[in-house]
Amino acid sequence: MAAKEKIVLYTLAVNNYCPEMTAITFPLMEYYADKIGAEFVVIRDRKWPDLPPVMEKFQVHEMAQKNGADWHIYLDADTLVHPDFFDITALLTKDTTCSGISSDFTPMRFAPDEYFRRDGRFIGKGNWCAVFSNWCLDYYQPPDPMTKDHIMELARNIRLTTAEGLSGVMENHHLIDDYLVSRNLARYGLKHTLIGELAMKINRPDIPAMLWHQYLHDAEKKVEMMKQLLTTPPLPPPQQGGWGIGIPAPRVVVAEEVAIETPA
């Protein structure tokens, strides 16, 4: 029997990010990590303190090189993972990267450079969810140089959608990580699919609803929405209005048995 592939699930919570929210989301992530046999890594320390906090996600690139895992899953700290969600790596081959439910058309929000034009797929990614193997670490390749001036220069290639602009909570540099992973997909010609596409292939349209993420609200509103979702029956199916699983998520292990790490 082949050895089980190593999986690491990462999330980001720098600057003591919204403890009221992570008290809800992290137990669900811990449960999911234990369910799929993954290590759970919370990135809490800043490596580039003068850059937008979302840039700390790119610590995953170096961490992935060091930990030698076969699969890497990243979820934003404001993502809810339903306890019934499954090991998404089971449906992937190592040559294919994966993200959430949908993709944007790049020229609508990002100025297309030579990489986007040469690639021709114009895939625009939301970077709240990412799944990739050790074959595809380029997905999270950090920009060079990793300086404030360079990052702000790249951010000028980003234009908010109308909904984002009207939300009152979004600025173009908030989407710099989306821009960078989209550009990496184009630059390195990485194969890509969506959890939504995989769900349709196996005739399980309910699966995308097992991941919940909203970004056009402030943290306080997100917490309110999470609590409402988690306490609204029925279960199943989640896509019909509620998960009804209560807070916190059911646990099968104590926290000490889940590997929670921060980078050195």
1 falls within a domain: no
Number of domains in the chain: 1
Dist CA 185 CA 262 (whole Å): 27
Instruction: Write down the pLDDT at residue 255.
Output: 34
224 falls within a domain: yes
Q: Residue 17 corresponds to which amino acid? A: Y
192 falls within a domain: yes
Is the CB of residue 65 less than 8 Å from the CB of residue 227?
no
196 falls within a domain: yes
Q: 17, 76, 71: which is closest to 39 by C-alpha?
A: 71
Dist CA 128 CA 223 (whole Å): 17
Partner residues linked to 148 by β-bridges: none
Instruction: Write down the pLDDT at residue 1.
Output: 58
Instruction: Write down the pLDDT at residue 4.
Output: 85
Give the CATH number, domain containing residue 80: 3.90.550
Q: 213, 212, 209: which is closest to 238 by C-alpha?
A: 209
Per-residue tokens: 106: 């790049």
Instruction: Write down the pLDDT at residue 190.
Output: 98
Instruction: Write down the pLDDT at residue 238.
Output: 44
Per-residue pLDDT of the chain (264 residues; tens, 9 = 90+): 567 899 999 999 999 999 999 999 999 999 999 999 999 999 999 999 999 999 999 999 999 999 999 999 999 999 999 999 999 999 999 999 999 998 999 999 999 999 999 999 999 999 999 999 999 999 999 999 999 999 999 999 999 999 999 999 989 899 999 999 999 999 999 999 999 999 999 999 889 889 999 999 999 999 999 998 887 654 444 444 467 665 544 443 333 333 444 444
2 falls within a domain: no
Range of the domain at 127: 7-261
55 falls within a domain: yes
Nearest 5°: phi and psi at 12?
Answer: -125, 130
Instruction: Write down the pLDDT at residue 229.
Output: 87
Strands 104-105 and 123-124, sheet pairing: antiparallel
Order of all β-strands in the sheet with 38-43: 191-194, 96-99, 129-133, 71-75, 7-12, 38-43, 260-261
Instruction: Write down the pLDDT at residue 256.
Output: 38
